[in-house]
């Protein structure tokens, strides 16, 4: 078979399986198997395909047709100019989360060697993305689960950003927060899917670790922990930003309103309210707020 015929056969298999991005996915798998990008694939379409490479391509296409996430098959995925290692056991970095990382970086801009915590760090996308955008930034990327922690450690080593360290910790544990020094930033893309909605998610999303998706009965369990345990670790004026699910921004704003001022909501490329951000109240602002409540 020629290279072109191999690609078309794989693409066709994905289409028959109902894959709505068959051409893109087949192109990614083709590049993984043959080392050829789209332009090279087109220019060399009439050349014979290497049998071993073709077998690898078709094996990956079968996995994709069966619903295994593309990112897990490839073993890596881009995020803000970085390439992160991913696989079963860790949440796949998504384009929406780049908005969180960019928001966090903007909030830390101008700080000298800011120290921030990335809660529920997973692959390390947020910690590494922010650190890559903020020169001199230091990050503690906290992750509880062993499988995700392995990817986190590998990605930290791979990125070569000296200020980022992987920390094994449960962000719901008060002791984990108490061990942290005063922070310039607290950022998180926590689990926020309502537990009852998980069975209705797309099959390939359900293949991601449940612990990275399940936000409890109302999806807000981790935001309550952020408000109770982690926002108090911020210095006055320190930055906080979290990713939220569709329809959750209002509830998260209310949860954070006691600790933060200047709370804002940012929308993603689909128009969904995706990031809630604000700054730790100064002592004077907090005093004034308490006085107003006492009147």
Q: Do 68 and 75 meet the contact criterion of CB atoms below 8 Å apart?
A: no
Q: What is the pTM of this model?
A: 0.91
**Burial track 182-211 (b if 16+ CB lie within 10 A, e otherwise):** ebbbbbbbbbbbbbeeeeeeeebeeebbee
pLDDT (0 to 100) of residue 166: 98
Residue 282: the pLDDT is 87
pLDDT digits (tens, 9 = 90+) for 74-126: 999 999 999 999 999 999 999 999 999 999 999 999 899 999 999 999 999 99
Q: Report the DSSP pairing between strands 273-280 and 138-143.
A: unpaired
Q: Which helix (H) or strand (E) holds 140?
A: strand 138-143
**pLDDT of res. 280:** 98
Biggest alpha carbon–alpha carbon distance for the chain: 82
CA-nearest of 237, 64, 77 to 158 is 77
Question: What integer pLDDT is reported at residue 285 of this predicted model?
Answer: 52
User: What is the structure's pLDDT at 284?
Assistant: 56
Q: Which stretches of the chain drop beneath a pLDDT of 70?
A: 283-295
């Amino acid at each position: 078979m020629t290279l072109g015929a191999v690609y078309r056969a794989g693409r066709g298999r994905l289409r028959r399986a109902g894959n709505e991005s068959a051409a893109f996915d087949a192109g990614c798998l083709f590049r993984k198997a043959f080392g050829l990008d789209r332009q090279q694939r087109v220019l060399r379409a009439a050349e014979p395909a290497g049998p071993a490479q073709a077998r690898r391509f078709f094996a990956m296409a079968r996995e994709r047709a069966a619903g295994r996430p593309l990112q897990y098959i490839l073993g890596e995925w881009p995020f803000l100019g970085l390439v992160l290692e991913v696989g079963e056991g860790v949440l796949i970095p998504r384009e929406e989360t780049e908005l969180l990382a960019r928001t966090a970086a903007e909030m830390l801009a101008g700080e000298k060697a800011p120290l921030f915590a990335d809660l529920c760090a997973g692959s390390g996308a947020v910690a590494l993305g922010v650190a890559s955008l903020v020169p001199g930034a230091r990050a503690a990327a906290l992750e509880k689960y062993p499988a995700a922690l392995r990817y986190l450690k590998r990605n930290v080593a791979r990125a070569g950003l000296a200020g980022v360290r992987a920390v094994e910790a449960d962000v719901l544990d008060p002791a984990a927060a108490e061990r942290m020094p005063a922070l310039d930033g607290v950022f998180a893309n926590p689990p926020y899917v309502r537990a009852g909605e998980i069975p209705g998610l797309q099959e390939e999303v359900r293949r991601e670790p449940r612990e990275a998706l399940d936000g409890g009965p109302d999806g807000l369990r981790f935001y309550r922990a952020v408000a109770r345990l982690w926002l108090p670790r911020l210095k006055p004026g320190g930055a906080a930003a979290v990713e939220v699910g569709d329809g959750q921004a209002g509830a998260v704003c209310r949860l954070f309103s006691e600790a933060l001022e200047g709370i804002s909501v940012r929308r993603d490329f689909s128009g969904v309210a995706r990031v809630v951000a604000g700054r730790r109240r100064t002592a004077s602002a907090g005093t004034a707020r308490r006085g107003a409540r006492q009147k």
